[in-house]
Amino acid sequence: MDTLEEAELCFPHINNSCRRWSRPQPEASFICVLLSSISVLTVSLNLLVIISISHFRQLHTPTNLLLLCLAVSDLLVGLLQMPVEIFLLTNCWLLGDVACVANFVLASLLISASVGSMVLISVDRYVAVCEPMFYSSRVSVKRVQLSVCLCWLLSAVHSCWLLRDKLTEPSRFHSCRGECLVVVNYADGVVDLVVTFFGPFLVIVVLYMRVFVVAVSQARAVRRHAVALQRSGAATAKKSELKAARTLGVVLLVFLLCSCPYYCFSVAAEHNVLAAEAVAVQVWLIYLNSCLNPVIYAFFYPWFRKSVRHIVTLRILQPGSCEANMLQRD
C-alpha cells in the first residue's frame, strides 16, 4: 500500500510531495499524442507564415508586418507553452520555482501581445478602408514597427504587474512540492479581464463595425458607377481592401470564440487558478487559436498558399527568389 501511494507522488521520497493525476494508459496516450500534434502543427504553420512574410519582399507591407507579429506570438505558444501544458497534465512540476514563474509570465505576455496585435490590425484596416487617402501617410512600416515594439513592451509590463506576487515569492501559493500554479486575486483578475479582453475587443468591434458599414456603402457605389475602365480598376482595389478586412475579421472572431470560455470562467470564479485541471480545457482552447490563425490565412490569402508552395518545393533557395511576385495568381 505504501509503495502504491509513493508511486502516485511527484517526489516519492518527500513527505509534502504533490500527487500525480492518474489516468488510464490509453486515455493518457491519446491526449498526449493529440496535444503534441497540435503543438507541432502550430509551430509548422506559423513558421510558414513567418518565412513567407520575411523572405518575399513584395509582402513587406504594414498589414503583413502586423500579421508577422501575430505569427511570432503564435509560434512561441506552440513552441514553448503547449509542451509545458502537456507536461503539466500530470500535475507535477519538476523544473523548480523560477521556471514555474517564467512559464506563467511568458503565457501572460504572449496572450497580451496577441490581443494587442489584433487591436493594431483593426486600426490598420480601419484606416485602409475608411480613410484610404491618408493610409500611406499615416501607416508606414516604421510606425508599425514602433507600434509593435510598444505593444510587446506594454504586454511585458502588464504581465509582470499581474504576477507581481508570484515574482517576489515564487512558492507563495504552493501547497505541496511539485506544484506550479498562480492565484490572481479578484481585483487583479477584473483589471486583466478589462485590459486583455473587454477593452481591446470593444475597440475592435467598434472599428470593424465602421469598416463594414463603409465597405458596404463603397460596394454599392462601385456597382452603380462601374462603367468606365478607370472606375473598374478602382473597384478592384476596393474589393481587395474589403477582402483583407473580412479575412482579418474572421481571425478576430475565432480569437473571440477561443477566449470567451476562459475569461467567462475567470469572471465566475473568485480566484483564477491557471494550472488547475478544471481550467485545462479553457487554457488549451486559447492556445488552439494559435494553430487556427495560419489555417485561416491558407483559406483566405492566395499569397500565403503560393508562398507555401515556394517554401515546400525549396524554390526560395534559388537566387532572387525573394523578388518573386506573390500577389499574381499562377
pLDDT confidence of residue 30:
87
Does the pLDDT value for residue 231 go beyond 50? no
| Banded model confidence at residue 63, pLDDT cuts 50, 70, 90 | confident
User: What is the H or E stretch that residue 250 is in?
Assistant: helix 229-268
| Banded model confidence at residue 76, pLDDT cuts 50, 70, 90 | very high
pLDDT confidence of residue 145:
92
C-alpha cell at 32: 498526449
pLDDT confidence of residue 272:
46
Listed by start position, the domains of the chain span: 24-323
Mean residue pLDDT of the chain comes to 80
More confident residue, 31 or 173: 31
213 vs 216: CA distance, rounded Å? 5
Burial degree of 210 (CB within 10 A; 0-12, 13-18, 19+): middle
Closest C-alpha among 83, 139, 136, 143 to residue 107: 83
Question: What's the one-letter identity of residue 308?
Answer: V
Q: What is the pLDDT averaged over residues 32-46?
A: 93
| Banded model confidence at residue 153, pLDDT cuts 50, 70, 90 | very high
Write down the architecture of domain 24-323 according to CATH. Up-down Bundle (1.20)
205 vs 222: CA distance, rounded Å? 25
Does the pLDDT value for residue 101 go beyond 90? no
pLDDT confidence of residue 242:
61
Question: What's the one-letter identity of residue 49?
Answer: V
pLDDT one-digit tens code per residue, 244-290: 567 667 777 887 788 877 777 665 554 444 445 556 777 888 888 88
Which pTM does this prediction carry?
0.83
Does the pLDDT value for residue 78 go beyond 60? yes
Q: What is the pLDDT averaged over residues 286-314?
A: 85
pLDDT confidence of residue 8:
76
Contact 118, 204 (CB under 8 A): yes
Does the pLDDT value for residue 4 go beyond 60? no
